Each structure stands twice: as structure tokens, then as C-alpha cells.
């Protein structure tokens, strides 16, 4: 994939990926490093395995520990990145909480805690990097949403609300900043085989989903198998490149054809 020279100006091309310590975020960070970006791997814990994988493949990455529920930590982390690298060319808002709680049992503290990470943090990160993107006349914002926005699924009202809000924000950002060389798109994964999603301890009541639900979901997909991290990384790589320069405000659903729009 090619990336605009206008975005570089003699410095490294920089991609910031949240939730990069494992799972999809680790996959996105590793792929963007292969695409010759210097990756800022952001998570609330050290991204040791991610950096090791990137460096072993000859890529470049920097670890950035930030608690995305803390607005000041976000501001400080982005400021540190911009001070060192000069810009963030690609922002991938991937980090998110995925609890399964019956709607009537969600209390306000739980609602706010999820919104802080799933929706407020992407808002703050976009606000922090867009001014430099505007100055450079170039930027790629990629928000990781979810196909649950278009599905019948119980126990995820606050999660679905946050991802629906993220899609709406993506569309609005595309409208507001398309004239500045900035694109904003969303990727909506289906159920993907990651440690967080497939951990049996997180399934059933209070967890992500049950084994029976996972098996049933596969039968409804056009491609009847579980999603893998590698199924998603190409979509993010494409949206981060100049090959997607005329695509903005869109939601790319990558779920094996479960949600057909």
C-alpha cells in the first residue's frame, strides 16, 4: 500500500493504535508496522509482545502506556507522541470494553465506565490529533466498531450504544474534515477469535457469549467459520493507505457475511 509523501515530510510515518497489547489491536499494529509505519502501540499495560513481534519482523514501534478512561492521561500521551514524532498520520481507535450485562442490571457507573473507553476516548484522541492532521493536509482515522449494531443480540445494550455512537461520530468527522485531506472510516468486526473474546471464563452470564451462541452465529454467516485477527488486518491496512483516499464516512463490515448490507 502506498502512503502520501505529503504526510511524511522527512519524518517517520506514524500510526497510533489503541488496545495494541493483544488481540485485534496487536494484529493492526503489527500489520501497519509491515506497511512501514512507525507504530505507537497504546494500551493500559505494556505492549511487550506486540513490540517484540514488530521488531522481530524489522518494523519500528514505540510503547505508550495510557489508561483510556483518564482524559488527562490521553492528553499527555498524545502530546508526548506529537512532541517526539511531529504528527500522527493514522489513528486506529481499537480499544474497547465488551461486557455482557442484562439491560435492567446496568447501573450508571457501569454505563459511564464503558462509554469512557469505547466512545469518549476515541472522541478525545480524534480531538488531539486532528489539528496536526489539518496542518499537514493529511490524516486517516479508523474507528473499530462492531457488527452488533446491526444484529439481534441480548446483554449488550451499553456496548451496542457505544459502537453505534462511534459509527455516527465517524460519519460526522468525515463530513467535517474531508476538505482537509482527512478521511474517517469505521471497521465493524464480527465475532473474532482473540484471547479476550474466546476466553471461556468470559462467556455466559457476565461474559461475552456462550459456546452455543458462537456455533449458531457461524451457521448464519455466508462464510461459516469463526473470524480470525488476520481477517481484519487487511481492511485496516487498506483504510490507512492512499488507496482509500476517496473513501470516507463508511463502515466496512468484516464478519463473514453475517450482517449483509
- Positions annotated as catalytic residues are 159
Whether 19 and 95 have beta carbons less than 8 Å apart is answered as: yes
Alpha carbon of residue 185 to chain centroid: 11
Cell 511524511 locates to: 8
Q: Where are the beta strands (DSSP E) in the chain?
A: 14-18, 38-43, 60-65, 90-93, 139-144, 182-189, 192-193, 227-228, 251-254
Alpha carbon of residue 246 to chain centroid: 20
How big is the chain, counted in residues?
Answer: 261
Considering only CA atoms, give the Rg of the chain: 18
DSSP-based helix, strand, coil % in the chain, nearest 5: 50, 15, 35
Phi, psi at 48, each rounded to 5°: -60, -50
Amino acid at each position: 500500500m502506498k502512503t502520501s509523501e505529503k504526510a511524511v515530510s522527512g519524518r517517520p510515518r506514524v500510526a497510533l493504535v489503541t488496545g495494541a497489547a493483544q488481540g485485534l489491536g496487536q494484529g493492526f499494529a503489527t500489520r501497519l508496522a509491515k506497511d512501514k509505519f512507525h507504530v505507537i502501540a497504546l494500551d493500559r499495560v505494556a505492549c511487550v509482545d506486540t513490540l517484540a513481534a514488530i521488531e522481530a519482523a524489522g518494523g519500528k514501534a514505540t510503547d505508550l502506556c495510557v489508561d483510556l478512561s483518564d482524559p488527562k492521561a490521553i492528553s499527555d500521551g498524545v502530546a508526548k507522541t506529537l512532541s517526539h514524532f511531529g504528527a500522527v498520520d493514522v489513528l486506529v481507535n481499537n480499544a474497547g470494553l465488551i461486557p455482557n450485562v442484562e439491560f435492567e442490571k446496568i447501573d450508571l457507573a457501569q454505563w459511564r465506565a464503558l462509554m469512557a473507553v469505547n466512545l469518549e476516548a476515541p472522541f478525545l484522541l480524534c480531538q488531539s490529533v486532528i489539528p496536526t492532521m489539518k496542518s499537514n493536509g493529511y490524516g486517516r482515522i479508523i474507528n473499530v466498531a462492531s457488527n452488533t449494531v446491526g444484529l439481534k443480540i441480548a446483554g449488550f445494550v451499553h456496548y451496542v450504544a457505544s459502537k453505534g455512537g462511534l459509527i455516527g461520530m465517524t460519519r460526522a468527522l468525515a463530513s467535517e474534515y474531508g476538505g482537509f485531506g482527512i478521511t474517517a472510516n469505521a471497521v465493524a468486526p464480527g465475532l473474532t477469535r482473540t484471547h479476550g473474546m474466546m476466553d471461556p471464563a468470559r462467556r455466559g452470564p457476565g461474559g461475552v457469549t456462550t459456546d452455543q451462541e458462537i456455533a449458531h452465529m457461524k451457521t448464519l454467516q455466508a462464510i461459516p467459520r469463526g473470524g480470525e485477527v488476520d481477517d481484519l488486518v487487511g481492511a485496516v491496512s487498506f483504510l490507512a493507505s492512499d488507496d482509500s483516499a476517496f473513501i470516507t464516512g463508511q463502515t466496512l463490515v468484516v464478519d463473514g457475511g453475517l450482517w449483509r448490507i
